[in-house]
Amino acid sequence: MGDKPIWEQIGSSFVQHYYQLFDADRTQLGAIYIDASCLTWEGQQFQGKAAIVEKLSSLPFQKIQHSITAQDHQPTPDSCILSMVVGQLKADDDQVLGFHQTFLLKNFQGAWVCTNEVFRLALHN
């Protein structure tokens, strides 16, 4: 991993950490957000750490497992990292569904946090 650019290393580590937390206990995700963070979840918008964690904690399933198909990371001109994830998830006994998720990561007080996040299931109606 040492031969990859630093933004790819940070982005990949963040993505791994995020989905481990989400799958194990999504109520613990508050540590990766700040009060200015924004989440758009299937078109619904939430702002602030508390509102985001409340939304993620209230999702209507007991267990979930994410499988990452691909992830891409880019540095931004203002020293942030843009990460896009494509994968599949399985919630409870539902069918496997595809998803897309984008994160904007910023170094805030010595830690990488998610300032912006967009999630969509990959449904084609």
> 120, 39 in Cβ contact below 8 A?
no
Tens-digit pLDDT profile for residues 22-60: 999 999 999 999 999 999 999 999 999 999 999 999 999
> 69, 84 in Cβ contact below 8 A?
no
For the chain, give the percent of residues with pLDDT over 70.
98
> 107, 13 in Cβ contact below 8 A?
no
> 11, 100 in Cβ contact below 8 A?
no
Within a 10 A sphere around the Cβ of 84, how many other Cβ atoms? 16
Sign of torsion over alpha carbons 102, 61, 55, 32? negative
6-121 belongs to which CATH class?
alpha beta
- DSSP, collapsed to helix, strand or coil, labels residue 31 as helix
pLDDT band at 102 (very low <50, low <70, confident <90, very high): very high
How many angstroms separate the CA atoms of 93 and 102, rounded?
Answer: 26
- DSSP, collapsed to helix, strand or coil, labels residue 108 as strand
| pTM of the predicted structure, to 2 decimals | 0.93
pLDDT of 121 reads 96
Both tokens assigned to 96: 């496997």
